[in-house]
Amino acid sequence: MTEFEDRVTDVIRSLQPGEVVTYGEVAEEAGYPGAARAVGNVLGKSEGLPWWRVVGSGGYLKTEKRHRQAELLEAEGITVAGGRVVAG
DNA sequence: CCCCTGACTAGAA
DNA sequence: TTTCTAGCCAGGG
């Protein structure tokens, strides 16, 4: 477990139900601005994390599990349409 | 160290 | 709107 993974996992685990952030925001909060890609890698490697609360730029669901992600997000009161999170 | 890949992002054509 | 390029960080060969 690297410090990077430690930071990223900590940030993601601190997310509350209904809270959605982007890979870039997670990377920035973790102290690694620009490491959005590495954030995605950590999400895929780590387990037991609310990965569905992390989306792409603009709220777009980029993952292969976007269908599952949409269901999980809607289960938390978040609306997903057109493959992206609807803000409002 | 160098090269390629990946759940990324912003800018330009 | 779609396609391509440049930048960022981490991991494996």
Cβ A73 to strand C below 7 Å: no
Number of domains observed in the structure of chain A:
1
Average pLDDT over all residues of chain A? 94
The percentage of chain A sitting over the pLDDT mark of 90, rounded to a whole number, equals: 91
pLDDT at residue A10 greater than cutoff 90: yes
Strands A80-81 and A84-85: antiparallel
- Per-residue confidence (pLDDT) for residue A3, from 0 to 100: 92
- Strand, helix or coil for residue A14: coil
Residue A76 belongs to domain with CATH number: 1.10.10.10
pTM, entire model: 0.94
Which residues constitute the domain of residue A80? 3-85
CA A77 to chain centre: 16
Our measurement of CA A50 to C1' C2, in angstroms, reads: 32
The pLDDT value recorded for residue A16 is 96
The pLDDT of residue A87 is 78
Strand B contact with A65 (CB < 7 A): yes
Q: How many CA atoms lie within 13 A of A45 on its CB side?
A: 13
